């Protein structure tokens, strides 16, 4: 099958961007599948994530958090176009990249990901997300600026991960996530709004949203709400998948990513 895929499809370059508290490691199944089909794959660690050397306390703005993706996009040859794939909070990172480097993106894929846009600002998106948020159980916030100021970092708790993030994924992947998780920096709404002012440049890039049917973190009704407020060019759905689509339904996601890349090449 892999050899047939290589004959049918020219090589695409997929750039995979993880969600909050995760890292490039979360894509390990998709990296292997895409490479087996002959494609080029870059899975990035955002700042203070995965094996990126920065510490969460070093980050002062969401722009610094996104810096590794911006640096990578800047380093691409002028004539190369990539397939940008963002998962969860990674949707914000790829949105900024679409705005800054639209000519280098053939299509952007939002995998149950935050999807702001010119018609859906980050403030409204965050408010709606918070309004729908369920109990965070054993997840933890830190208050490095004192108890009377907003929290500075967030970490998923093991129980929350097992019940709401990895509930349909193999137990080995839950174990992996539990040991590799790093806290994510929480940024002010003003900072996020300044860095995610999206215009016609963002809108010029083809966009596809992949719904995860059984996602308990960004529930299906919230995914549909984002799609309604900021309509993409196409919508796909993966059934029987949790928030970690790449862990619970890797082959289905792999098939969708290849088809999307082929259509919008």
Q: Which of 66, 68, 5, 60 is nearest to 42 (CA)?
A: 68
Q: Is 243 a catalytic residue?
A: yes
The residues with which 208 forms a beta bridge, in sequence order, are 109, 234
**What is the mean pLDDT of the segment spanning 192-216?**
98
Per-residue model confidence as pLDDT tens digits over 14-43 = 999 999 999 999 999 999 999 999 999 999
**What is the mean pLDDT of the segment spanning 88-108?**
99
Predicted TM-score (pTM) of the model is 0.96
**What is the mean pLDDT of the segment spanning 32-59?**
98
Q: Is the pLDDT of residue 1 over 70?
A: no
Distance CA 26, CA 76 (A): 23
Residue 5 pLDDT class (50, 70, 90 cuts): very low
Q: Is 248 a catalytic residue?
A: no
Which CA distances in Å does 28 have to 40, 51, 75? 14, 14, 23
Q: What's the per-residue H, E or C state across 114-173?
A: CCCECCECHHHHHHHHHHHCCCCCCCEEECCCCCCCCCCEEECCHHHHHHHHCCCCCHHH
Q: What is the three-class DSSP state of 179?
A: helix
Task: Check 22, 39, 87, 243 and give the catalytic one.
Answer: 243
Query: In what order do the strands lie in the sheet containing 40-44?
Result: 40-44, 13-17, 82-87, 105-111, 207-212, 234-238
Distance CA 91, CA 80 (A): 21
Q: Is the pLDDT of residue 237 over 60?
A: yes
Close Cβ partners of 68 (under 8 Å, ≥ 6 residues apart): 44, 45, 46, 47, 52
**Amino acid 265: pLDDT:** 86
Q: What is the mean pLDDT of the chain?
A: 96
Q: Is 215 a catalytic residue?
A: yes
Task: Check 88, 95, 162, 169 and give the catalytic one.
Answer: 88
Per-residue model confidence as pLDDT tens digits over 141-159 = 999 999 999 999 999 999 9
Task: Check 106, 173, 212, 215 and give the catalytic one.
Answer: 215
**What is the mean pLDDT of the segment spanning 75-87?**
97
């Amino acid at each position: 099958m892999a050899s047939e895929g290589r004959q049918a499809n020219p090589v695409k370059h997929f750039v995979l961007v993880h969600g909050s508290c995760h890292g490039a490691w979360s894509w390990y199944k998709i990296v292997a599948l895409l490479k087996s089909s002959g494609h080029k794959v870059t899975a990035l660690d955002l700042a203070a994530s995965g094996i990126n050397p920065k510490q969460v306390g070093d980050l002062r703005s969401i722009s610094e958090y996104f810096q590794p993706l911006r640096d990578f996009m800047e380093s691409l040859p002028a004539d190369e176009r990539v397939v940008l794939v963002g998962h969860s909070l990674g949707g914000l990172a790829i949105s900024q990249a679409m705005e800054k480097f639209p000519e280098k993106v053939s299509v952007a894929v939002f995998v149950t990901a935050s999807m702001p846009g010119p018609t859906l600002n980050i403030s409204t998106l965050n408010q709606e997300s918070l309004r729908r948020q369920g109990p965070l159980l054993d997840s933890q916030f830190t208050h490095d600026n004192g108890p009377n100021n907003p929290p500075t970092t967030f970490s998923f708790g093991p129980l929350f991960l097992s019940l709401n993030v990895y509930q349909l994924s193999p137990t080995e992947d839950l174990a992996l996530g539990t040991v590799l998780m790093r806290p994510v920096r929480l940024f002010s709404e003003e900072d996020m709004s300044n860095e995610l002012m999206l215009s016609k440049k963002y809108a010029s890039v083809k966009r596809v949203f992949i719904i995860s049917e059984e996602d308990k973190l960004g529930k299906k009704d919230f995914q549909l709400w984002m799609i309604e407020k900021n309509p993409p060019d196409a919508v796909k759905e993966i059934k029987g998948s949790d928030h970690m689509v790449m862990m619970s339904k890797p082959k289905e996601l792999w098939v969708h990513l290849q088809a999307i890349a082929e259509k919008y090449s």
